[in-house]
Structure 1
Amino acid sequence: NRYRRLALQYNPERQGDEKLSALFCLVGEAYEVLTTPLLKALYDQYGETGMKKGVLTPFGWYPPYAYHGDPLRTYKEFFGTCDPYADLMNALDNPPPMFDSPEGRGIKKKEPTLEKPLALTLNEVFFGALKKVKIERRVFTTEEQDSTEIKERILKIDIRPGLPAGTRLIFKEVGDMGPTIIPGDIEFVTEDKPHPVFKREGVDLIMKCHITLEEALNGTIVELNTIDDKTIRVAITDVVTPEFIKVVEGEGMPYVNNPAKRGDLILTFDVEYPKYIPQTSKKLIKKAFSNAAMLCPGPPEMVNKLILADKIRRTVDEDR
């Protein structure tokens, strides 16, 4: 190949002569023109002057051509490296894929990566799943690789338990085939489908529980189903304030690199207030709050002691 020989001959870094830079650039420009079918046709028909000034073709005006001016870029596209020594022998032994056409010979260039979203349910992420995605792509219809047709293909995607949202799963060179191109990659980006009960945050699951004001003040037992469909009972013994959360350890999502380990289930609360309170009940509530204020006048540690004593009393009462 003439470009291979001339690019090595006039590479200023290889030869240790910066005076060769202009010739090296001309070699890159000539290669780009002669291996691009349309540019070669314009050059053959109108010469260098016409190609660089722009020409009116039967298909419309073709703007002036200008080389990008980076001969190392052309060199790298051909050899696969900018280093004239480190990978030179490998590049010579394994030259980039080429194509032949009536207009000339050129290098096959890889198509851009196609990004697609992959929506997963929390159950699929929790248990793991095998997803099958149908794509359409152009494939060769002949051994000569001179014509293509659109065909369907099923891609199988292994979803590991606990796979984080935003994970990128790449299928190499499954894009469209073509005589002058290398098929591009398809990259699937995972995202969580909305769940009616749970919301994922890292390896933890967030769940909102609905309780009454009476339960928020007096405590309650919340019965719920976990993501793996177990029924558990969670005792709420603290006063439920707007910021209150209850953490149930080990009932969240699995860690992707250690599925035996799980995050937590975090309970938040939506307190339902009564629409009407009779006057007599209001007096009782007011008295109850007054008594609570009298019993808990001290510092926080005193309040914590009273809460602990109350929890112990409740436990004893439940065991009877």
Structure 2
Amino acid sequence: MGIDYYGVLQIPRTSRDLNIKKAYRNLALEFNSDRCKQENSKQVFALIGEAYEVLSDPLRRAVYDQYGEEGLKNGVPGPDGYIPGYHYHGDPMRTYNDFFGTSSPYADLLDVLKNPQKLCKKTTGIEVCKKQQPIKHPLHLTLHEVFFGGIKKMKIHRLTFINEKHNKTEVKEKILTIPIKPGIKAGTEIIFPEEGDQNPAYIPADVIFVVEDKPHETFIRQDDNLIFRTNVTLEDALIGTVVTIHTIDHRTIRVPITDIISPMYEKFVENEGLPILDKYPEKGNLIIRFDITFPDYLPRSCKETLKKAFDLAKVADSRNQHESINKLVLADKMFRIDPDEQLPPL
């Protein structure tokens, strides 16, 4: 049947990497052969190390989950070729030292010495301090702030110690400086550790600002892209038009539309969206969406002209359809100009 590595670490098969590390830490400290003198502790310590090395490596864990210990140690075929078998190096102290950064059997005590726990005075006596629950505030950002980034200052009020004994507090104002990276995403949490109310019985809470996008009068944000909606007439939808857009960074761009605009049509303009946070100064796309306005009334002559245009489009080569329709509509307009308004011949 083989070794049950999950059973060795006493964790379920659905455990995440952090749970695997926590389980190994607790068991390795308990069964370290220099610390534990129980019978068979060395064998158990080695098995714990082997289980950790298998389950903490994504490839080894995947092979073990699918093929078991036999497949893991004998090797299996993979999508990119044969995956060779895995064999534990047999030195659990090497695994222990890689994990803790020391071979000391009292690594947990060393952690406490390096990062001593805070003690608080309570009515029941002196106890290890517990941290208060984090305090979350919304951080509303305009698309202009998201585009350019910068610094935002937020004012908070908190209870602060006013004497050396740390047993008296009063409310004081504090200004927190928040760095805004270009392209910062909605939902991002910016944490200010222990900036909550000071209290002799607790560790102050973290103050967390959660980014929220403010609505924009022109654009809608979609991840790193910007959505722009515009109205076009049926004539523009069929013949073509130019869309003028005033960008967030104060430029004016003109986008020619030469395709037929259907209700689901979208025009993508590359690199005109928001900055991509991890790839700055690259930007997302500007996506133009269209609302088509249909005429309330068409005279019979216009309908006949359009019918001719569509009939011609059916028999014309598809590459010339737009041009054919354009010529017919333009000719109809010219014939309907008042003679008094026509330009004199050259």
Question: Aligned partners of 1:223 and 1:93: how far apart in 2?
Answer: 62
**Corresponding residue for residue 174 of structure 1:** 195
Report the TM-score when normalising by structure 1: 0.66
**Corresponding residue for residue 279 of structure 2:** 258
Write the letter of the residue equivalent to 2:193. K
Residue 270 of structure 1, aligned match among 291, 303, 328: 291
Residue 118 of structure 2, aligned match among 59, 77, 97: 97
Question: Aligned partners of 1:128 and 1:136: how far apart in 2?
Answer: 25
Write the letter of the residue equivalent to 1:209. T
CA gap 1:89/1:242 in 2 versus in 1, 3 angstroms? same
**Corresponding residue for residue 226 of structure 2:** 205
Secondary structure of the structure 2 residue equivalent to 1:254: coil
Question: Aligned partners of 1:248 and 1:87: how far apart in 2?
Answer: 56
Tell me, yes or no, if structure 1 residue 220 matches structure 2 residue 226: no
Tell me, yes or no, if structure 1 residue 163 matches structure 2 residue 184: yes
Report the Cα offset of residue 93 of structure 1.
6.1
**Percent identical across equivalent pairs?**
44
CA gap 1:215/1:105 in 2 versus in 1, 3 angstroms? same
Report the TM-score when normalising by structure 2: 0.61
Report the Cα offset of residue 309 of structure 1.
7.9
Secondary structure of the structure 2 residue equivalent to 1:289: helix
Write the letter of the residue equivalent to 1:306. N
Write the letter of the residue equivalent to 1:99. C
Report the Cα offset of residue 129 of structure 1.
2.5
Question: Aligned partners of 1:178 and 1:137: how far apart in 2?
Answer: 10
Report the Cα offset of residue 246 of structure 1.
1.2
CA gap 1:181/1:234 in 2 versus in 1, 3 angstroms? same
**Corresponding residue for residue 106 of structure 1:** 127
CA gap 1:16/1:193 in 2 versus in 1, 3 angstroms? farther
Report the Cα offset of residue 101 of structure 1.
4.8
Q: Which moved more, 1:95-104 or 1:124-133?
A: 95-104
**Corresponding residue for residue 171 of structure 2:** 150
Report the Cα offset of residue 308 of structure 1.
9.1
What CA deviation, in whole Å up to 9, does each residue of 1:52-85 have, x standing for no partner?
xxxxxxxxxxxxxxxxxxxxxxxxxxxxxxx983
**Corresponding residue for residue 192 of structure 1:** 213
Write the letter of the residue equivalent to 1:204. N
Structure that is richer in strand per residue? 1
Secondary structure of the structure 2 residue equivalent to 1:126: helix
Tell me, yes or no, if structure 1 residue 128 matches structure 2 residue 128: no
Secondary structure of the structure 2 residue equivalent to 1:262: coil
Write the letter of the residue equivalent to 1:275. D
Q: Which runs of 5+ in 2 are unaligned?
A: 1-28, 39-103, 328-346
CA gap 1:285/1:208 in 2 versus in 1, 3 angstroms? same
Q: Is the 8 A contact 2:239 2:322 kept in 1?
A: no
Name the Cα RMSD after superposition. Answer: 2.6
**Corresponding residue for residue 236 of structure 1:** 257
What number of residue pairs does the alignment pair up? Answer: 230
What CA deviation, in whole Å up to 9, does each residue of 1:35-56 have, x standing for no partner?
xxxxxxxxxxxxxxxxxxxxxx
Report the Cα offset of residue 141 of structure 1.
1.6
Q: Is the 8 A contact 1:107 1:180 kept in 2?
A: no
Report the Cα offset of residue 162 of structure 1.
1.0
